[in-house]
Structure 1
Amino acid sequence: MKWIKSKSLRLLFVVFFFVTLILPLFNMFATITTESIQNLLFTPVFGEVILQSVLVTATATLIAILLALALSWCVAKTAMPFKNILIPALTLPMLIPSISHGMGLVILFGAKGIITNLLHTSFSLYGFSGIVIGSVLYTFPIAFLMLLDVFKYEDDALYEAAQVMGVSKLRQFTDLTLVYLKKPLISAFFAVFTMIFTDYGVPLAVGGKYRVLSTYMYREVLGLLNFSNGAVVGIILLLPAILAFIIDFFSQDSQSGSNSVRLKIKASPVRDRCAAGFCILTAVLFNLPIIAFVVLSVVKKYPVDLSLSFDSILQTLQLGAGEYFFNAIVMSLLTALVGTAIAFTVAYFTSRGKQTFTSRCLHLISLVTVAVPGIVLGLGYVTRFSGSILYGTLMILVLVNTIHFFSSPYLMAHNALLKLNPNFEDIAMTLNIPKHRMIRDVLLPSTFGTLLEMFTYYFINGMITISAISFLSTVDNMPLALMIPVFEGQRLFECAAFVSLIILVSNLILKALISFVSSKWQKYLN
């Protein structure tokens, strides 16, 4: 009976993913007509949009990866000072929506931007250059954290041996570092490429007349209500993520960091100071938009009147920011709670006990979710749930975010559960301890830190996302992040800047609270 119950739960989750992931995509594809394919794929204009999308995405991805590689090497391989400050500073931009980065560039380098006025010059911001810069600001922290984490598991004894053998630093970098980072670099490249290719926040803010696929789809669906054309674009937007998933799935990393040796990094004054200077300069440049948000939030009217004033803050609140902030907090908290619970439960079924056909299906589906861009998933939900009891409610936003961000929290839980003693279930059965008690008293306490990370990931992404929910939100349930494009469209940059700051501060408070809980838990365990 216990096995039947477990099997039933697995099947229930398979049905859940079928309804919330497979059916929405199928419904979206079903809207495609032969006419829409001919109107899009065989027209010069659409070919130009695809070419521009690939060009701007490839350029931004290459810059972001190279910067991430250089800065992660500086942090991991040098004894530079201020590491504990610089790492959070370099990753701070990931706590605001992508459209905020584009808007920050407008505030800084637009026709009346802060830096434009200070230098008395003009910048060609809108179009290719603006999208590239904004996309690098948006995706760099992700690539930086991915590569920095890989550096933690590198075996430094190899470098010591190479140094004893007289191998030059350049040869060590090319023959050891780059070889070790080959697969992580490929994974990071595809992850960043997919994020930029499917993002419409930055192009919406600084794209100008330079059209890319994401904004083209946004215009077709929200502007023209042409779901068939939008579905065709959605398929194209799916391709890079699917390719990335296939490459990552079938190229299992044979390297292991379990036996790596971490040696103390020898100080080198010149190298360490240069590395610190490079990181500080990058951190300052990457956080300029956030600094600009602070300035705009407390001046009366930039650049006409720079006197201290809280008028823009009051105006933002009068326009409903408080209500939308409440929506965002509730949506993000529910997404974090529901998503963490589902991801952990599914990870338990796929990592512990008998590996059945349904558990393997669950594992594959859980990984596949990473290959579905938010803007595509959102359109799928429109075509699938329009007219249902869910449509237009806060719960559909929670549901789409749960699926959109499912893969990373699932992998956190899956990997954490795999590391625990595989005999816990057998011991519990021998001692006649119910499985739910074993999970409650053993597995949950052992993976509590991972659960906090999963909760944080869901909450932060829930606060900053605009892609999946842009097609589904209404005036009553609209979260705060969607006010940014509204304010920007109305040229209320001061209000949009303040909204970005609210989101940033909310995420920082959440991270601080989670860090406090985590430290208390570690002290309790010790």
Structure 2
Amino acid sequence: WIMLVSILTLCCALIATLVLPLYALLSKSVQDDKGNFVGLDNFREYFSSAGLIESLWNSIFIAAFTTVIGSLLAFTFAYGLTRSCMPLKRTFRAIATIPILAPSLLPAIALIYLFGNQGMITGLLMGESIYGPIGIMIGMLFYIFPHVLMIMVTALSITDARLYEAAESMGAGPVRTFFTITLPGAIYGVVSAAVVAFTLAITDFGVPKVIGGQYNVLATDIYKQVIGQQNFSMGAVVGIVLLIPAIFSFTIDRIVQRKQVALLSARAVPYHPKPHKGRDTAMFLFCVAVSLFLIGILATAAFASLVKFWPYNLSLTLSHYDFDRVDPNGWSSFY
């Protein structure tokens, strides 16, 4: 009876939190503003709007670019943590996972303080504006990096050391070993990490809302349709369109996970890297650069929260943490 009650409770929870919201979204997408059934008219209107189609392609472009660059950065960082003998591995891992606790709004706000119209180092953009795709992509890289890194570290940690011993005994060089053992052994994790990165990037609202400027994406279009124009039907349509790539990514991830089960369940001998001065130095410098970027974003946000009036009065104050000035509930909203 206990198991039956638990299963029924779980089913009810899934219906309440997943099925019913999806049903409401789907039903609203085929209704007009008066609640009348209009079939696919809303979808035809959406795909006939040049502005909304542009937002769709913008979202795909941002998500694809962020996925590729973020996956490369995270894979290299994870490679340094698992396949090198560089110092400060625990420190680098701790720094790299801190951003997972930060909301996506934080990197966007920090980038404005760094590269905005009155930013500290705006000149580094050489005339380009941070408000748009450049800012969105940099903010997204900060946001998705720790999520992707954790998957990459796991993927690179499960390779059987006996494969490397066999490759070494057969005279395989480092490059050939990487492409025949390391990469194939981690490919499922790489694909899974890329899926996570793409889903996070295409569905995030915080970064493009804060720093996107006039560069529209699907996540901000939903906000504009529902909050700005009170057009719930079109907002539901945009939500459905945004849901499609997420479902596609989830399907790919499930297929990859099934294939990875056999690899994870095999009895593998843990791999322990051997010291290599050139590789270890290169990995150390790379991890330092990435860590400085992450710390720089976090430190900028923390510093800006203490500045009295940016950029005219840079004296430090805790008055911004007096939430009673902006919210009648004060700190109670936080708790």
TM (normalized to structure 2)?
0.90
**C-alpha separation in 1, matches of 2:252 and 2:96:** 29
RMSD over equivalenced CA pairs, Å: 2.0
| Equivalent position amino acid for 1:220 in 2 | Q
* 1:291 aligns to 2:299 (yes or no): yes
Partner of 1:187: 192
- Mapped contact 1:190–1:240 kept (Cα < 8 A): no
Partner of 1:486: none
Note the 1:258-273 alignment, pairs <5 A: 258-273=266-281
- Mapped contact 2:106–2:301 kept (Cα < 8 A): no
**C-alpha separation in 2, matches of 1:324 and 1:187:** 41
Partner of 1:22: 19
Alignment match of 2:113 (pick from 104, 107, 113) = 107
Alignment match of 2:325 (pick from 287, 295, 318) = 318
Partner of 2:174: 169
Partner of 1:12: 9
What does the per-residue CA deviation read over 1:205-248, in whole Å, with 9 as the maximum and x for residues that have no partner? 11111100000001111222211111111111111221122223
* 1:201 aligns to 2:201 (yes or no): no
- Mapped contact 2:42–2:234 kept (Cα < 8 A): yes
Q: What's the CA shift for 1:258? A: 4.4
Identity fraction in percent: 31
Note the 1:110-509 alignment, pairs <5 A: 110-116=116-122, 122-251=127-256, 252=258, 253=260, 254-256=262-264, 258-314=266-322, 316-320=323-327, 323=329, 325-329=331-335
Higher RCO (CA < 8 A, seq sep 6+): 2
Q: What's the CA shift for 1:257? A: 5.1
- Mapped contact 2:58–2:217 kept (Cα < 8 A): yes
Q: 1:10 to 1:308 in 2, by over 3 A?
A: closer
- Mapped contact 2:209–2:220 kept (Cα < 8 A): yes
After alignment, is 6-15 or 219-228 more displaced? 6-15
Partner of 2:85, secondary structure, is coil
**C-alpha separation in 1, matches of 2:160 and 2:331:** 46
What does the per-residue CA deviation read over 1:257-315, in whole Å, with 9 as the maximum and x for residues that have no partner? 5411124321123321221121011111122121112222333222212233334344x
- Mapped contact 1:153–1:257 kept (Cα < 8 A): no
Give the unaligned 5+ runs of structure 2.
32-37
| Equivalent position amino acid for 2:180 in 1 | D
What does the per-residue CA deviation read over 1:80-137, in whole Å, with 9 as the maximum and x for residues that have no partner? 10011110101211211101111111111111112227x6964421111111111111
**C-alpha separation in 1, matches of 2:245 and 2:133:** 20
Give the unaligned 5+ runs of structure 1.
330-526
After alignment, is 75-84 or 41-50 more displaced? 41-50
Q: What's the CA shift for 1:156? A: 1.8
Partner of 2:121, secondary structure, is helix
After alignment, is 239-248 or 213-222 more displaced? 239-248
**C-alpha separation in 2, matches of 1:310 and 1:327:** 18
What does the per-residue CA deviation read over 1:337-366, in whole Å, with 9 as the maximum and x for residues that have no partner? xxxxxxxxxxxxxxxxxxxxxxxxxxxxxx
**C-alpha separation in 1, matches of 2:296 and 2:128:** 16
Q: What's the CA shift for 1:48? A: 1.3
**C-alpha separation in 1, matches of 2:172 and 2:145:** 32
- Mapped contact 2:159–2:186 kept (Cα < 8 A): no
Poorly superposed stretches of 4+, deviation over 6 Å: none
| Equivalent position amino acid for 1:27 in 2 | A
Q: What's the CA shift for 1:144? A: 0.6
**C-alpha separation in 1, matches of 2:5 and 2:313:** 65
Alignment match of 2:80 (pick from 65, 74, 77) = 74
The count of aligned residue pairs is: 323
TM (normalized to structure 1)?
0.58
